[in-house]
A and B are shown apart, each in its own frame.
Chain A
Amino acid sequence: MVNIAIEQDHIRPPQPPGLIKWIKENLFSSIFNTVLTILLIPLISYLLFAVFRWVFFAAEWRAVTQFPLLYAVGQYPRDQIWRVGIILSGLFLFLGISWGRWGGLLKSISFTAGLIMLVTSLLPVQHPALDLNMRLYLGSNLLTILVGYLLGSKTAIKNTHIFIGWLLVPVCGIVLLAGFEASELIPDVSTTLWGGLLVTILLAAGGILLSFPLGIALAFGRRSSLPVVSAFSTVFIETIRGVPLVTILFMFSIILALFLPVESRIDRLVRALMAVTVFSAAYSAENIRGGLQAVPLGQIEAAKALGMGNFKTTIFIVLPQALRAVLPAIVGQFISLFKDTTLVVIIGINDFLGIGRSIINSDPEFVQMRTEVYIFMAVVYWIFSYLMSLASRRMEAAMGTSNNM
């Protein structure tokens, strides 16, 4: 038999090293570039200097530094804040485990999170929120991540168990945060007190996790050969996409409450989550539908010819290929969902942005510091969005190297 594949050792020519070479090639390669470089260097230096001076000398960060817990969890009772700590530790444990198992981006996240904890716990400042207990707790998270790492790398925990853990921590976490009416240890905490970054992350993560399967279902629904299912999905998707998120939020928070009897009222935060989920699902559905259409018919025929039924063909062949094709679009949409959660402030939920605004409005002195507050919040939103985008790029790269489609 003819073997066509010829093994070749590509010897890469040695890369010319050195900063000078790089500068020469990229900054001074032509007269135009040289002029541009000479003009831009002072301009950029000046801008950097101005930013530096403003951040460290001119800006007044009191409206940010005075209320770290308010930004983090809103009005959540301070004596119950340990519940948030437990959830955070749980997440750090599984972050560590996942780092030990898969490395990559998770390693960078673990290091960043650990570094932030360490620096914060050692900050040489007097702050009522940063007492000894808080410092000890923050420091202990370093240990938690490390224990997780050892568990992930040295023991034979099954991958499925790690995934289940990732789902279990937030679910148990929400129960823990809400508490029980009858319980002495964890009395119930009304969601009207929840706020800050906690609510933002809850809405975004909940919305992403719930809207993804719903979006897949709607995408298949729209392609269904059953007229009722297809019509329902189409009407649903087009209605939601034709209406701004604000309207949907109002609909869920006010109109839904009007129709339901008072005693069966759904919690305000849950209603907001439903609105965000439905909104995101409609957009995901259209993205995923595009991916489904991109799967060649031959793939489906090949699966069927092997005796696989519709369900198995969908699960093993169609869906993985469709999702991979639309991964960048889906992540982009999740990033906008994360930022769109700021709209819940109009139905009276104090998310991260809402807390910032209420702090600004609480004191005429803070009104003067609104620039600082908004910049701080922008940076926090940027960090989360960038992490998502980074994760998506890593996922694409991992899929790209495993094969060329």
Chain B
Amino acid sequence: MAEEPIIYCKNVHKWYDDFHALRGIDMDVFLGEVIVIFGPSGSGKSTFIRTINRLEEHQEGQIVVDGIELSHDVRNIEQIRTETGMVFQQFNLFPHLSVLQNITLAPIWVRKWPKDKAETVAMELLELVGIPEQALKFPGNLSGGQQQRVAIARALAMQPKIMLFDEPTSALDPEMIKEVLDTMTDLAESGMTMIVVTHEMGFARAVADRLYFFDEGLIVESGTPEEIYSNPQEERTKLFLSQIIQH
């Protein structure tokens, strides 16, 4: 393909002391693609997504995001982080700031936007995720689903080129999962480049361009949703899919 990938990972290795968490991951992501990563717990999927904005450091291999190689250079790291939004399993909203302040903090202090502009953008984003009326509340007063939608708005406020989702619905009560997935679907349809770690296979089937199955720090199998669901090649993929789809 002539086009350059926006995320380029080559032979990424990561150790926690003696534990070999990532054992050579290769992945290219192109602009506008939606990638879903799934796999059993401890398979390295969260670790991998966190190496992309260097919340985790990789020890070997190469990661290039939007033309910038991740290295020890702090300025590179901070620049990549402004270009990649991240949504966490536990939301991680700032409890001492209002919803609006949560969203405007980084645009004002990192992007150096004037307050008015940051607030206008924040309100537009809250409109987008469907909860503009909650702007002045504090995160502690929102439901889990609302908190996660605020977290998505907060990440989008930096106008990132890439969005990383680390199990965004795993900590939610069942009745709130849909509202978050709906928001993510809207986002995917708007053309955002996304990497999503999730076990929501319905979402993956509907939205993902490619699926990656991780196990024991390796990519076991990858392909389009169609390929993975109807015709998995590897035994481990079959087994895992049968386990999570049973219910």
Residues of A within 8 A of B (CB): 1-2, 4-5, 296, 298-299, 301-309, 312, 316-317, 320-321, 324, 402-405
Contacts and interface: CB of A to CB of B under 8 A. Distances in A.
Given A1-B179, A301-B92, A308 B145 contact: no
Please give me the 5 A-B residue pairs with the lowest Cβ-Cβ distance, nearest first: A403-B138, A307-B82, A302-B92, A306-B106, A404-B140
26 contacts: A1-B178, A2-B175, A4-B146, A4-B176, A298-B88, A298-B90, A299-B94, A302-B86, A302-B93, A302-B94, A303-B94, A305-B55, A305-B85, A306-B85, A306-B105, A306-B110, A306-B158, A307-B82, A307-B106, A307-B110, A308-B105, A321-B94, A403-B96, A403-B140, A403-B141, A404-B141
Interface string B96-133: 10000000011001100000000000000000001000
B94 A306 contact: no
Contact of B95 (A5, A304, A305, A321): A321
* Residue among B81, B84, B88 with most chain A CB within 10 A: B81
Contacts of B55: 301, 304-305
Interface string B128-165: 00100000001111010110000100110010000000
Interface residues of B, number: 38
Contacts of B176: 2, 4
A302 B143 contact: no
Given A307-B106, A320-B96, A5 B182 contact: no
**Interface of B: prevailing SS:** helix
A402 B109 CA distance: 23
Given A306-B81, A405-B96, 13 more contacts: A1-B130, A2-B175, A4-B146, A4-B175, A4-B176, A302-B88, A302-B151, A305-B84, A306-B82, A308-B109, A321-B95, A321-B96, A404-B141
A298 B140 CA distance: 16
Contacts of A301: 55, 88, 92
A270 to B, nearest CB: 36
B169 interface: no
A320 B158 CA distance: 22
B116 to A, nearest CB: 18
B94 A317 contact: yes
Given A301-B55, A317-B94, A4 B145 contact: yes
Contacts of A317: 94
B139 A316 contact: no
Contacts of B81: 304-307
B175 A405 contact: no
Nearest to A297: B92
